[in-house]
Amino acid sequence: MTQHATLILRGGQVLPLAPGRPRAVHEALAIVGDRVQAVGSVAQVDALRGPRTRVIALEGRTVVPGFIDAHAHLEREGLKTLRPSLAHARSIADVLAVVAQEARRLPAGQWIITMPVGQPPFYFGGPDTLAERRMPTRQELDGVAPDHPVYIPGLFGNWGVPPGYSALNSLGLQRNGIDADTCPDCAGLQIERGPDGEPTGVIVETNKRPLVEFSILTQVPPFGFADRLEGLRRSLPLYHAYGTTSVYEGHGSAPETIAVYRALWERGELSMRTRLCVSPTWSNVVEARAAMRDWLGHARGRGTGDDFFRISGVYIGLGGNAAAAAAVRRALPNTGWSGFVEWANGIEDFRNYAWLAAEHDLRVHSVVVDRVGEVLDVFEAIDQRFPLAGRRWVVEHVGRVTARDIERLLRLGVMVTTIPFYMLWKNGAAYLETDHPEETVPQRALLEAGLPLAAGSDNIPVSPFWAMWSSIVRTERTTGRAIGPGQALDRWQALALMSRNGAWLSFEEERKGTLEPGKWADFAILGGDPLTVSPEALAHLHADATFVGGVPVHGGGDAAIAR
């Protein structure tokens, strides 16, 4: 006897993205428990309806597999809501009003810390967005909060474009011991001084990942465990609102970050299928060998965990600044906004760590940008002794990739992830005048070669639709010019990039990523048709409802799902 469906969605278009028929369109979807039961016509699916089956009328809307964000940095988004926003500020008076309000709310002596000046999610321009085109001085901040240390941080460089501008009042400077003689111990930091040689309260940073709090502002309270736990809790609905049901954190998660995910998972509150890899704290090969041998057994191979929380592999960085890496390690467990541990590795260091990882069956993940060839040289040498086939090592955040690189990636079975919005739209200016623009984030070439290429948001912004939009138009933000237009994807390819293909990263292509019978019922009902809306409208799509394992995690009530 056929089991009745617990949930049926009918009267719209269902895009299963199944490999055998990747562009098939159906009318209805049936769910039993946490699994897909069937897709097909309304008549076919209605045959599975029983007296207790819940039915959602799609009214022409589109159902897609839940999105898998391959580079999510999920935990950051909620952290942004823990501090007062300055997004509305158009003048120094507006900034001071927020600080004054916090001074009335908080006990004297407690830190007032806001979000940066500028418009989220990028904070482009910083103080240029204020009428005065500058940050408030320490004296101006003193005027509204004389009894509280005040800190207005600069932007986190991955969100926007450096420089970042921080501002402190006199008590904030005093708490950090900053005076006329203070000299930063990290490059890329400038303490602005007035005609009298004294600090104005403004600090300018040109580093992409801010080091000011690890160098000269070490007394500013960092995010604590409770903050990060609450931030993660708040992040979940923000990602679910765009149809994201799984995340893959290949950039690595620091020990405290993993502990936060674990705590939420243990409480039964982790509604996102979360796949993490370890961002290790070791400083040299000796420490790395001991950690891989003695402490990372749980991260070997395909890793350890369950349907909602799993850890597999390690992140090994290439490049970086030695002073920055040392400063961050001194501050552990605090990692600031990043959530991972900074690296400073030359190619020899990278090679040594990668060999150790292979020896201990730990998957290697690394952000490579334009150094794919160097990394593959290392991987090919390792492959001679420890065959990589089936291990699914990962190169991330790829920039320039040649035809020869693609052949080598295929031969080694290395997974590839891209951040199209970050690399093409936000930071694509550097690639506009290259001799081979078609080698810049060559997503079409990678897909056509047979690689299950996946993409992520990088938390800038959280919506997967911006990554799809950028994959289709490939335009750079300052000029509007397309970078390697021959590499543009069509709508179906862009959808697969953010859903089906991401399942390969965690060896779960038989369990999620498509709407096929037996797979998890992870899906989203979209507010528009991603196949037909204009490119501009595609970027602004959202989910009317999102389900994980057949359970609504966003807009799940009948009223919320209704138009």
- Tell me the domains of the chain and their CATH numbers: 1-60+516-563 (2.30.40.10), 80-215 (no CATH), 223-364 (no CATH), 368-506 (3.20.20.140)
In whole angstroms, give the CA distance from residue 165 to residue 183: 17
Contact (CB, 8 A) for 523 and 39: no
Residues with Cβ within 8 Å of residue 429, at least 6 apart in sequence: 476, 478, 479
pLDDT for the residue 378: 98
Q: Give the tokens for residue 560.
A: 């919320």
Contact (CB, 8 A) for 103 and 147: yes
Residue keyed to tokens 């079975």 = 413
Residues with Cβ within 8 Å of residue 266, at least 6 apart in sequence: none
In whole angstroms, give the CA distance from residue 383 to residue 386: 5
In whole angstroms, give the CA distance from residue 466 to residue 459: 11
Name the helix (H) or strand (E) containing 168.
strand 164-168
pTM above the 0.85 mark?
yes
- Measure Cα distances from 546 to 260, 306, 361, 467 in Å: 24, 21, 36, 19
The percentage of the chain sitting over the pLDDT mark of 90, rounded to a whole number, equals 94
Burial class of 331 by CB neighbour count within 10 A (0 to 12, 13 to 18, 19+): middle
Residues with Cβ within 8 Å of residue 373, at least 6 apart in sequence: 402, 404, 405
pLDDT in tens, 25-43: 999 999 999 999 999 999 9
Regions of the chain with pLDDT less than 70: 1, 557-563
Nearest alpha-carbon partner for 412 in 378, 444, 383: 383
Residues with Cβ within 8 Å of residue 82, at least 6 apart in sequence: 223, 227, 230, 231, 234
pLDDT for the residue 562: 47
Q: Give the tokens for residue 477.
A: 């933000």
By DSSP bridging, strand 523-526 and strand 62-65 are antiparallel
Nearest alpha-carbon partner for 339 in 426, 277, 396: 277
Q: Give the tokens for residue 444.
A: 């079409």
Q: Give the tokens for residue 453.
A: 């290429």
Question: How many C-beta neighbours within 10 Å does residue 96 have?
Answer: 18
Residues with Cβ within 8 Å of residue 189, at least 6 apart in sequence: 203, 204, 205, 207, 211, 212, 215, 216
Give how far the C-alpha of residue 358 lies from the chain's centroid of Cα atoms, to the nearest Å.
26
Question: How many C-beta neighbours within 10 Å does residue 295 have?
Answer: 11
- Positive/negative CA dihedral, 292, 293, 294, 300: positive
Q: Where are the alpha helices (DSSP H) in 47-192?
A: 74-79, 92-105, 138-144, 170-175
pLDDT for the residue 321: 86
By DSSP bridging, strand 62-65 and strand 7-14 are parallel
Beta strands in 333-385 (DSSP E): 364-367
- Measure Cα distances from 526 to 191, 207, 210, 543 in Å: 48, 38, 37, 4
H helix and E strand count, the chain: 19, 22
Q: What secondary structure letter does DSSP report for 284?
A: S
In whole angstroms, give the CA distance from residue 13 to residue 60: 6
Question: What is the SS3 assignment for 232?
Answer: helix
Burial class of 268 by CB neighbour count within 10 A (0 to 12, 13 to 18, 19+): exposed
**Upstream peptide bond of 65 is cis (omega within 30 degrees of 0):** no
pLDDT for the residue 1: 59
Q: What is the DSSP string of 23-76?
A: T--EEEEEEETTEEEEEE-HHHHHTT--TT-EEEE-TT-EEEEPEEETB--HHH
Burial class of 486 by CB neighbour count within 10 A (0 to 12, 13 to 18, 19+): exposed
Residue type, 66: G
pLDDT in tens, 191-202: 999 999 999 999
